[in-house]
């Protein structure tokens, strides 16, 4: 049985266990904060697998998570903002996918981890670009998120930078992130199929660890409290920063 699973996933036993642990942790953060699932999987596994292999795994996990969370998210999200961000993100996505499929795997790993570190630091330092709330600012955010999603499956982190910089209530902020990720997944599917990224191996990897992710997701959702906005934000960002920083350190010669 184990040999069959390892053959289908093309992973070493240690890598499969690590992926399951990361999926559980990522689900916990996603259920708690509304974002960060892909970033945690990418940060923890980028030293083992190239981002081009991890992107479809993250897509599968995000898809399952979105199905579980989308109903509650729609009630509280700013849907006009979500639609504009998701639409512009769809334009930037193929640019990022072209870059990551053209890069040397070692370079793409460093790029993915560096993106996560930069975005997490920007949010921890409460970096708020000027005019971010304007229409041009929203469009620029969406395009950047699309490119980040194609490069390292961390488009949600870019959107989080925009949403967390706003003065919206924690419940609306979390719901908007959930709905953005759901809309973005639907549009991403076409691009992933076109680039041949979503194949049987990647689908099996994602589906195999999806139950572990759902356990974490349920636990994270149960822990969420709108009054804990600052606490959950800081906790999740510090976790992402630690994982990505460790991954970068391991990539150094």
Q: The domain containing residue 172 runs over which residues?
A: 2-251
Check whether 170 has a pLDDT greater than 70. no
Q: What is the pLDDT of residues 45-90, one digit of tens each?
A: 877 888 888 888 988 998 898 888 776 566 777 888 888 888 899 8
Check whether 22 has a pLDDT greater than 90. yes
What is the model's pLDDT at position 24? 96
Report which listed range, 81-90, 156-165, 227-236, is most confident. 81-90
Buried b (16+ CB within 10 A) or exposed e, 154-181: bbbbbbbbbbbbeebebbbbbbbbbbbb
What is the model's pLDDT at position 21? 94
Confidence of residue 111 (pLDDT cuts 50, 70, 90): confident
Asked if 78 and 168 touch (Cβ cutoff 8 Å), the reply is yes
Neighbours of 28 (CB within 10 A): 25
Asked if 232 and 171 touch (Cβ cutoff 8 Å), the reply is no
Confidence of residue 167 (pLDDT cuts 50, 70, 90): low
What is the model's pLDDT at position 73? 60
Confidence of residue 211 (pLDDT cuts 50, 70, 90): very high
pTM over cut 0.85? no
What is the model's pLDDT at position 252? 65
- Length of the chain counted residue by residue: 253
Q: What percent of the chain has pLDDT over 70?
A: 85
Asked if 241 and 121 touch (Cβ cutoff 8 Å), the reply is yes
Confidence of residue 2 (pLDDT cuts 50, 70, 90): confident
Among 66-75, 82-91, 95-104, 147-156, the least confident range: 66-75
- Over residues 101-125, the mean pLDDT reads 76
Check whether 14 has a pLDDT greater than 80. yes
**Vertex 153: Cα angle to 230 and 35 (nearest 5):** 25
List CB contacts of 245: < 8 A, sequence separation 6 or more. Answer: 117
Confidence of residue 165 (pLDDT cuts 50, 70, 90): low
CA 206 to CA 105: how far, in whole Å? 20
Confidence of residue 19 (pLDDT cuts 50, 70, 90): very high
* Cα 181 to Cα 89, 155, 204, distances in angstroms: 10, 9, 21
CA 162 to CA 41: how far, in whole Å? 22
Confidence of residue 115 (pLDDT cuts 50, 70, 90): confident
| Structural domain count of the chain | 1
Confidence of residue 210 (pLDDT cuts 50, 70, 90): very high
CA 6 to CA 38: how far, in whole Å? 22
List CB contacts of 185: < 8 A, sequence separation 6 or more. Answer: 59, 62, 63, 66
């Amino acid at each position: 049985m184990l040999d069959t699973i390892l053959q289908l996933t093309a992973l070493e036993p240690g890598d499969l266990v690590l992926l399951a642990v990361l999926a559980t942790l990522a689900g916990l953060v996603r259920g708690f904060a509304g974002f960060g699932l892909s970033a945690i999987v990418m940060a923890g596994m980028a030293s083992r697998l190239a981002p081009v292999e991890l992107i479809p795994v993250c897509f599968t996990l995000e898809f399952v998570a979105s199905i579980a969370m989308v109903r509650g998210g729609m009630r509280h999200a700013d849907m006009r903002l979500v639609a504009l961000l998701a639409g512009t993100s769809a334009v930037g996505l193929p640019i990022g996918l072209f870059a990551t499929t053209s890069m040397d795997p070692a370079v793409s790993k460093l790029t993915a981890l560096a993106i996560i570190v930069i975005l997490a630091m920007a949010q921890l330092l409460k970096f708020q670009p000027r005019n971010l709330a304007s229409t041009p600012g929203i469009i620029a955010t969406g395009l950047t998120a699309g490119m980040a999603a194609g490069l390292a499956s961390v488009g949600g982190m870019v959107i989080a930078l925009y949403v967390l910089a706003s003065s919206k209530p924690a419940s609306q902020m979390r719901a908007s992130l959930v709905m953005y990720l759901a809309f973005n997944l639907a549009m991403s599917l076409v691009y992933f199929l076109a680039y041949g990224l979503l194949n049987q191996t990647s689908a099996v990897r994602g589906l195999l660890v999806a139950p572990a992710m759902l356990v974490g997701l349920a636990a994270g959702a149960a822990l969420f409290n709108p009054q804990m906005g600052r606490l959950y934000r800081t906790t999740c960002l510090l976790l992402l920063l630690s994982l990505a920083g460790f991954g970068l350190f391991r990539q150094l010669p």
